[in-house]
Amino acid sequence: MDEGHEENSSCEGEESKLPVQLAIVGRPNVGKSTLLNALLQEDRVLVGPEAGLTRDSVRAEFQHEGRTIYLVDTAGWLQRTKQEKGPASLSIVQSRKHLMRAHVVALVLDAEEIAKAGRSMKHAEVVIARRAVEEGRGLVVIVNKMDLLRGKQNTKLYESVIKAVPEEIQTVIPQVTGIPVVFVSALEGKGRIAIMHQVIDTYEKWCSRLPTARLNRWLRKVMSRHSWKDQAAQSKIKYFTQVKARPPTFVAFVSGKTQLSDTDLRFLTKSLKEDFDLGGIPVRIMQRSVQRNTEDSSGNSKSKQYPGKMVKMVSDKRSIIEEQVV
């Protein structure tokens, strides 16, 4: 094992063992507080049939397999109205604040509502999911109240919910593949281990650091199997490296004025996710121009930096944001 690999592995291990900030979000009355109590294995939060019973965010800490988890119940994602004031308005602010700060966001859905409506996510839930990805957070979807779909008369509904939810989530957030979906009954305390497994797995992927040597070996292989729209671009990628984790962010160094197309960037992102098992988290790729040597009129060699652009593809948006590089 080379030094670079050891250094990256050590750094990844240290980051992945830090306390996990887990935010539980969702619309009122989907069972978030019941779920929080199930994860804590104690009745920490008041629960009941009234929507929005929990007004304030509840911060809690517990241990899971030797790891510290900071758990936040964000009191729902309440709709802002002109008449909305006081505690309800405060809940909105807190939800967004904790969503920004969380490492992993657990979006809770109601299985019974899904079965009745025939679709998984309402507008507010789509907003939550997209905001989590936009902020570069890991995302886990939890379908709660599965106990309400038990029994022979509900067999088809039960099966349809299990099949439909992952498909719809992939449609709503196509830029992040492999988002984990866990089906549970928080009221019965079932699914706790499955939830924590997916949360920890997502967090560790979010902390991933890949050695540069390994990435460049991968790049040579992946370039050979891509049908490059601009054939000149294939030989122009000189170097590929990871510049940060949480979420994994990479830079492709290209020579001269060549810029990779949106199609090329999407292909590289998809290949990274598949080849390094990074499904379910945002992955960002930037590209940067590198220097070329030119000769002046006297025959002396000098270095020239193209004023080019850095292009950042944010995995939560199907667009490219360009920034000038000095």
**Strand pairing category for 301-304 and 292-295:** antiparallel
Residue 324 contacts residue 288 (beta carbons within 8 Å): no
DSSP 260: -
Residues 6+ apart with CB under 8 A from 301: 293, 294, 295
Averaged pLDDT score across all residues of the chain: 78
**Strand pairing category for 249-255 and 237-244:** antiparallel
In this prediction, residue 320 carries a pLDDT of 32
Ranking 72-86, 90-104, 112-126 by mean pLDDT, the lowest is: 72-86
Domain locations along the chain: 3-206, 212-324
| Spacing of C-alpha 172 from chain mean position | 14
Residue 31 contacts residue 107 (beta carbons within 8 Å): no
DSSP 151-194: SGGGHHHHHHHHHHHHHHHHHHSTTS----EEE-BTTTTBTHHH
Token digits for 207?
């902390």
Burial (CB count <10 Å: 0-12, 13-18, 19+), residue 31: buried
How far apart CA 33 and CA 175 sit, in angstroms, is 30
Residue 96 has pLDDT above 80, yes or no: no
In this prediction, residue 305 carries a pLDDT of 46
In this prediction, residue 12 carries a pLDDT of 54
- Distance set, CA 249 to CA 57, 193, 286, 312 (Å): 31, 30, 8, 10
Residue bearing tokens 């080019």: 308
- Distance set, CA 101 to CA 4, 55, 63 (Å): 30, 19, 20
In this prediction, residue 118 carries a pLDDT of 84
Q: Write down the architecture of domain 212-324 according to CATH.
A: 2-Layer Sandwich (3.30)
Residue 47 has pLDDT above 60, yes or no: no
Fold of 3-206: Rossmann fold (3.40.50)
In this prediction, residue 42 carries a pLDDT of 80
Phi–psi pair at 223, nearest 5 degrees: -65, -35
Omega of the bond leading into 247 within 30 degrees of 0 (cis)? yes
pTM of the complete model? 0.79
Phi–psi pair at 81, nearest 5 degrees: -130, 170
CA angle 118, 124, 127 (to 5 degrees): 110
- Per residue in 105-138, pLDDT (tens digit) is 999 999 999 999 888 888 888 888 888 898 899 9
How far apart CA 241 and CA 210 sit, in angstroms, is 8
Residue of 117, 108, 129 whose CA lies nearest to 54: 108
119 vs 58, higher pLDDT: 119
